[in-house]
Amino acid sequence: MFTYILAFEEFTGGGGDGDENPDDEDTEKDNFESQLGHARQQGCSIGNLSLKTYNKWQDKGWYDLFHAQ
């Protein structure tokens, strides 16, 4: 899953957009899902990555743990 997250972040340039309102969770979710769909269409190897999985890896600290190795 970590490699899928890395591939997705590489595809999106980190996934951040400074113009977006971080308080608007619906927009954030829609944007993330749109980026996932676009990444899949472009052949990015992201498996079954979803917003829920991505957030879980961030919240539990697994992303940082794997990234540090």
Q: Please give the model's pTM, rounded to 2 decimal places.
A: 0.76
Residue stretches of the chain with pLDDT short of 50: 16-21
> Given this model, what pLDDT does residue 38 score?
93
CA dist 21 → 17, 18, 26, 52, 54 (Å)? 9, 8, 10, 20, 19
Phi, psi of 39 (to 5 degrees): -60, -40
